[in-house]
Structure formats: structure tokens, C-alpha cells
Amino acid sequence: MKAMVLQRPNTPLVLEERPLPIPRAGELRLKVEACGVCRTDLHVVDGELTQPKLPIIPGHEIVGRVDAIGAAVTGFSPGQRVGVPWLGHTCGHCPYCMSARENLCDDPLFTGYTRDGGYATHAVADASYCFPLPESGDPATLAPLLCAGLIGWRTLKMAGPAVVIGIYGFGAAAHIIAQVAIAQGKRVHAFVRPGDQAAADFALSLGAASAQDSDAPPPEPLDAALIFAPVGALVPRALAATKKGGAVVCGGIHMSDIPSFPYALLWEERRLLSVANLTREDAREFLALAPTLPLKMHTARYPLAKANEALADLREGRLQGAAVLIP
Ligand SMILES: [Zn+2]
Ligand SMILES: [Zn+2]
């Protein structure tokens, strides 16, 4: 198999030829059809997430076909299309696993971070964390659902029954979840990096009611704000834009420091929340919902060997929607 491998943080990925991995008991081997490039991959490659298995094959938005089935796996058949998300394994017995919060498991494995992921022609995954996907359709447009979509969905759910929603940072997650929110009858206001007209136009083309620079006030007070940009300075701005009792939900795994701010921005029962990982229930829920919605997926496709270029384009904000690697 071929894989793009991170040897150590802050170095380019290297194309390697490796023997095909053999799935162990409970595992599936997949022939990868597409793998999304997520901002979290950038945090791994750039050393901002500090505990990767090294060397590591990044990538946790894997769409693949079952290629080999390990012992004791039931419910999957050869050639079936499945998706593999960030949550790669949980212990099943810690207090979090025992209370339906496996996203917070004390002893988890994460795809493309602490177990090898999908920047490759083949990948092995724990079958209990693989999800059936539609058999037909373009795998590149399914891949971003597996993290940008799932984490976006968990972020949106944590905002509660909000109608007027601000979305800060209009990348892959925002472009999916804005469409989901609009389909649910919510009004979405997009906040983009100051001066990024292309991102503002992109948000409007997807149905956002308005799009403005992230340092501008909202056109109407928000019931909730979702922050996908890894920029801590957005937290006080989003709180200031949010109504009494509203929620500001940080959807990313890493963010620059949050500057100090007056307590008045938080007072009046505003809530400041973060999203960590996902549960399998989130995945089942969202992967069932997504095909029922008129989602328009915007992807930028790269051959597997160009993974470093995809990461660079994401880092520099040069793409709209989601980057996807095609092996
Ligand atoms: Zn656990
Ligand atoms: Zn991700």
C-alpha cells in the first residue's frame, strides 16, 4: 500500500510504500476511496496536538470499501462502503463510556492521530467504529461528512433550540452545518476573516442570511454562535453578539488563547461550551440525516501524493469547502 506519513511534527508528509496491513480480530481493512483533509490534521502536522503516535498516517474522514475482514467481525461484507471518523476506539468501561459520553473516554484511540488513518490507499479500522455509507455516489462528497459534518452536527446540537445562529469561520464544517441549519428553518449569519470576500460570497451562495467580517457586529442579536475558526479572540466577540441565555459553542479541537473579557459579556446566563470528539450515536444520527437534506458539498480534490499541498492550501485559507485526497 501507499501512504503519506508524518515522521515528526513540522515536517512534510512522506510518501511510503508499505506492506498491506492485516486486520486483527474486530478490525476491517478498507480500500480507501477518498479521505477528507480536516483542520485537525493540520494541528497534528503542525505540532499543536502534542500526543500523536509517530510515525502516523493522518486522516480521519475515510470513505472506503471493505477489503478484508478480521476475526469476530459481524455485520460487514466484502466490498461494502463504510466511513471511518475521528473516534477510532473507546475503552467501554470508564465513567464516561458508562454514561453515554464515550466522546470523553479516558482511554480512546483517534483515527489519524493515535492510530493510523486514511491518507493512504488502504486503512485498518476497528469495525465497531465504522459506519455504513450510501453505496452509490461520489466518495469525495461523502468524506467531509465524517468529521466536518459530524463535529458540526454535535456543535449545532449543543447550541440548543436556537433560531438565529452566527457561524464564525466558514470552512468545511461551517459549509455543511450552515446548510443543515438552514434546512431546519434557522437563520444563519456568517462571520469570516476580515476582508475575505471569497468566504463571504461562498457563505451567501449556500443560503446564509448575511456574511460579514468577524470583527463586525451581527445584523441581529444571535441566539447562538458556533465558532469553527481556531481563533480565541472570536470568543468574546461571539459572546458580545449573543442574546441573554444564548450559547457560544467552540467546535474546534485547538484554539489560540482567549483574551480576557468583562464578565458582563458572559453574564445573563450566556453559556460558553466546547465540543470534544463525537459519539457513535452522533455518527448514526447525522449519517442518517444527511442524505435526506439537499446538501451541496464543495470539495477541492487532490491526489494522495499531493497531501502536503492540500494541507498548505487549508493552512493558508486558499480553498472553499473541504479538501479531499483521492488515492
Ligand atoms: Zn472509556
Ligand atoms: Zn476532523
Cell numbers found for residue 222: 444571535
What's the confidence (pLDDT) of residue 244? Answer: 98
Question: What is the pLDDT confidence band of residue 66, given thresholds at 50, 70 and 90?
Answer: very high
Q: How far apart are CA 3 and CA 69, in angstroms?
A: 20
Q: How far apart are CA 62 and CA 17, in angstroms?
A: 19
Residue 94 region by backbone torsions, left for phi larger than 0, else alpha for psi between -120 and 50, else beta: beta
Distance of CA 283 to the CA centre of its chain: 12
Question: What is the pLDDT confidence band of residue 133, given thresholds at 50, 70 and 90?
Answer: very high
Q: Which ligand is nearest to the CA of 152?
A: 2
Question: What is the pLDDT confidence band of residue 246, given thresholds at 50, 70 and 90?
Answer: very high
Residue type, 314: L
pTM over the 0.75 mark: yes
Q: Which ligand is nearest to the CA of 96?
A: 1
DSSP state of 183: H
Q: Which ligand is nearest to the CA of 90?
A: 1
Q: Which ligand is nearest to the CA of 143?
A: 2
Q: Which ligand is nearest to the CA of 149?
A: 2
**Over the chain, what is the mean pLDDT?**
97
In degrees, rounded to 5, the angle at the alpha carbon of residue 255 between the alpha carbons of residues 249 and 163 is 20
Q: Which ligand is nearest to the CA of 279?
A: 1
CA of 282 to the centre of ligand 1 (A): 16
What's the confidence (pLDDT) of residue 217? Answer: 96
Question: What is the pLDDT confidence band of residue 84, given thresholds at 50, 70 and 90?
Answer: very high
CA of 5 to the centre of ligand 2 (A): 17
3 CB neighbour count, 10 Å cutoff: 28
CA of 322 to the centre of ligand 1 (A): 30
What's the confidence (pLDDT) of residue 31? Answer: 98
CA of 103 to the centre of ligand 1 (A): 8
Residue with cell 449573543: 242
Distance of CA 25 to the CA centre of its chain: 28
CA of 94 to the centre of ligand 1 (A): 4
CA of 101 to the centre of ligand 1 (A): 8
CA of 28 to the centre of ligand 2 (A): 21
What is the arithmetic mean of pLDDT over 24-36? 98
Residue with cell 431546519: 184
User: 161-182 pLDDT, tens per residue?
Assistant: 999 999 999 999 999 999 999 9
Q: How far apart are CA 112 and CA 85, in angstroms?
A: 9
What's the confidence (pLDDT) of residue 151? Answer: 95
CA of 149 to the centre of ligand 2 (A): 9
- At residue 239, what are phi and psi to the nearest 5 degrees? -60, -40
Question: What is the pLDDT confidence band of residue 109, given thresholds at 50, 70 and 90?
Answer: very high
CA of 86 to the centre of ligand 2 (A): 6
What's the confidence (pLDDT) of residue 281? Answer: 97
CA of 152 to the centre of ligand 2 (A): 10
Across 70-197, where does the E strand assignment appear? 81-84, 87-89, 109-110, 122-126, 131-132, 164-168, 187-192
CA of 41 to the centre of ligand 2 (A): 7
